[in-house]
Amino acid sequence: MLRDLILKNRSYRRFDQKYSIDCGTLRELIDLARHSPSGSNLQPLKYILSCEPERNADIFSCLRWAGYLKDWPGPIEGERPTAYIIILGDTTIRKSLGVDPGIAAQSIMLGAVERGLGGCIIASIDKEKLRKDLQIASRYEISLTLAMGKPIEVVQLEEVGLDDDIKYWRDEYNIHHVPKRALDDIILDI
């Protein structure tokens, strides 16, 4: 059921780096995005794949991880993502990407979870460095980086408390806690 996939699809940031992902799998995931809705059917999104250690390291060096975990600079060597999909917008097709990147990212991440993988949608990117390192032409707007791997962390959902604090946090056992707003708090009664 979709609900099981969605519940399993947490933002994972620590992976078994011994587990590699082949580019064929990434192509399958992009094919899910390809068949997902696109505003005015313009399909301006383009994708860069990465499943090799060297390119993975280049991309990793451009990412900022888990803003709320002030003492955690990101996954250590051995726990880093083993694949990436970078979502670009081809500005010669459309200047504004609208909601297309979000739709595509969700299709890809759900597909990853179905394959026993997982990852994190990262918008906090040093885009200038990434563009230079990967020689991304100026016609492509860098939208998102999807970091993927075999997750090794436990992510636990809980309800936002009375203090309305949505910041995720890690406990002494390294369990990652994520507060979610209650259903009745996000449905407007008009």
Q: Is residue 169 within a helix (H) or strand (E), and if so which, with residue range?
A: strand 169-170
Does 168 participate in binding a second copy (rule CB under 8 A)? yes
Strand-pairing partners, residue 50, are 84
Does 63 participate in binding a second copy (rule CB under 8 A)? no
User: Following CA atoms 129, 125, 13, 88 in sequence, which dihedral angle do they give, to the nearest 10 degrees?
Assistant: -100
Does 34 participate in binding a second copy (rule CB under 8 A)? yes
For a second copy, the binding residue among 73, 78, 167, 174 (CB under 8 A) is 167
User: Can you point out the beta strands (E) in 15-122?
Assistant: 45-50, 83-90, 118-122
Size of the site for a second copy (CB under 8 A): 64
> According to CB under 8 A, which residues from 79 to 138 bind a second copy?
88, 98-107, 109-111, 114, 121, 123, 134-136
CA 125 to chain centroid:
12
* Closer of 18 and 67 to a second copy (Cβ): 67
149 DSSP 8-state letter: E
* Closer of 78 and 96 to a second copy (Cβ): 96
* Closer of 110 and 154 to a second copy (Cβ): 110
